[in-house]
Structure 1
Amino acid sequence: QVENLKGAIAPDQWDNCDLRVVRNTRRILQLLDHQGTKATFFVLGWIAERCPSLVSEISAGGHEIASHGYGHELVYKQTPKAFQSDISRSKAILESITGRQVFGYRAPSFSITPETPWALDILRDLGFLYDSSVFPTSFHDRYGFDGSSRFPFRFGNGLIEMPLSTVKVGKANVPVAGGGYFRLYPYSVFRHCCKSLNRDGKSVVFYLHPWELDPEQPRVSIPFTYRFRHYVNLKRTEERLRRLLADFTFVPLHEMVSRYFSAVVDGEHRVADRAERGGGC
């Protein structure tokens, strides 16, 4: 379901491919468990249908299950009707497996942009509490929400946004959120950027895909730029992730939401309000 590979492996061929996501995800779970870290897993409905026991395993481990849509379709390539259908389907599948309400969403390839404001209302109307799709940068050809806030905020419709992390270099917002940036930058540079954000009192929204811990995955023929993005430093990802988890403390996104806003998602994934719960940050 990787966007860089779609030119070589069409969605109707996915079922013919080796499904490596289970062992790769379990490796991530092992690394998280070793550090006692809980995370948010943005799961595709397509994967959840084929691997429901994996979704149950993630949820039973105390991690948050959130939606990544159903078929990894870019938001700005869908109509509002198609997007609503895709997201509704994914949400229903995940909630059926876990027995818990799904409150978070991340668009495939961070494809909520200034051209897709309608998607925000659909997410709100479907009961999502927060989105984490906005990448406030202009560095990438496929995504970017340049000019957006770099830190958590509410859209006008009340939907909470947890943007992907960037650091300010001059006037530019340089991505440091994870994924290919985590594999490409020297670890010392990535760590420095995270510490810089922390010193300013800001949390880092970090992401990684299961396939990024799979250096033995089959190589497919794709254009050089996509090949570089996808395969660079795969052999180093696991060790870097191990170091990152040891160097920093991470929490699921719903806990970050509760720290920044009044809405709280409790251990049973019910929405409450701090005033009602008598709690605080």
Structure 2
Amino acid sequence: ESRVSQATKEILNILAERDIKATFFILGYIAKRYPELVKEIDAAGHEIATHGFWHNLIYQQDEEAFRKDLRESIDILEGITGKKVFGHRAASFSITNESLWALDVLSNEGIKYDCSIFPIIHPRYGIAGAERFPYQIKPGLIEFPPSTVKFLGRNLSISGGVFFRVLPYSFIKNSITRINKAGKPAQIYIHPWEIDPAQPRLNMPFDRKIPHYINIKHTAGKLKRLLDDFEFAPIREVLKIE
């Protein structure tokens, strides 16, 4: 069994133990390679959304290439589950000021919500000053940004990736509590590889190696604590998209 299947099933088990349903953003090429895994996620009652087909950055594509990649991913996911795909998350949050044209493509292809615009300053992605909470970005299209908290006058990500692995659990918990007390939903994301501490160590540049592997052995435990401390639901349900 592949590492991606094993790690995804571990996430499914963690969620099932707590009777929590989530949204899984799935790459088209992974779905094509592991259709039974997609069926298993769907059968467990989770929402299936698209992460594109090849994990190509949107701002490195033209409109036609992105449309083809998106359509291919939607077709494969809908073909496996028999259910409409409503949600999208870009590879590496690559809807930036240079690629806002992608929102029209999403809307035209029937996507109802997007989770790609990170309201932070980052060298590879993000739109500083973008809205922090769900909002209608175009008619019929809701943007649900990854969660951030105001810290020392700037937006700090608490929602996933290296931020989730490095920040103290108490800080993340307090931040989500603040967001919820303001009447807003928080969004947390996790990749299957982040709960696979035994994965082979790849030879990559130092500035990428540290964020990729740091604290990876603690991710599953941190995720379990978070799921025990808060209520979670699929994004489509949170946004009340029919």
CA distance in 2, matches of 1:220, 1:68: 23
What's the TM-score once normalised by structure 1's chain length? 0.84
1:129 aligns with 2:118: no
CA distance in 1, matches of 2:54, 2:239: 26
- Aligned position for 2:81: 98
Q: Provide the aligned C-alpha RMSD in A.
A: 1.1
Among 94, 99, 103, which residue is 1:111 paired with? 94
CA distance in 2, matches of 1:142, 1:114: 12
- Aligned position for 1:193: 175
1:246 aligns with 2:228: yes
- Aligned position for 1:173: 155
For residue 188 of structure 1, report the CA deviation from its aligned partner. Answer: 1.4
1:226 aligns with 2:208: yes
1:29 aligns with 2:12: yes
Query: Which ranges in structure 1 are unaligned for 5 or more consecutive residues?
Result: 1-17, 259-263, 266-281
Q: What are the superposed Cα offsets for residues 220-279 of structure 1, whole Å, 9 maximum, x if unpaired?
A: 111111101100011101111111110111000001111xxxxx32xxxxxxxxxxxxxx
What's the TM-score once normalised by structure 2's chain length? 0.97
1:184 aligns with 2:143: no
SS at 1:189 equivalent: helix
Q: What are the superposed Cα offsets for residues 70-110 of structure 1, whole Å, 9 maximum, x if unpaired?
A: 00001101111100000000000000000001010000111
Tell me which amino acid in the other structure corresponds to 1:171: G
Q: What are the superposed Cα offsets for residues 124-177 of structure 1, whole Å, 9 maximum, x if unpaired?
A: 000011111111011x22110112111111113431111111111243111111
Whether the 8 Å CA contact 1:71–1:86 is kept in 2: the answer is yes
For residue 19 of structure 1, report the CA deviation from its aligned partner. Answer: 3.5
CA distance in 2, matches of 1:160, 1:252: 15
Among 60, 65, 70, which residue is 1:77 paired with? 60
CA distance in 2, matches of 1:156, 1:88: 19
Q: What are the superposed Cα offsets for residues 37-73 of structure 1, whole Å, 9 maximum, x if unpaired?
A: 0000000000000000000000011000000000000
Moved over 4 A (4+): none
Tell me which amino acid in the other structure corresponds to 1:100: K
CA distance in 1, matches of 2:167, 2:207: 16
Tell me which amino acid in the other structure corresponds to 2:48: I
Whether the 8 Å CA contact 1:121–1:157 is kept in 2: the answer is no
- Aligned position for 1:159: 141
* More displaced stretch, 175-184 vs 26-35: 175-184
Aligned residues: 242
Whether the 8 Å CA contact 1:40–1:253 is kept in 2: the answer is yes
Q: Higher Cα Rg: structure 1 or 2?
A: 1
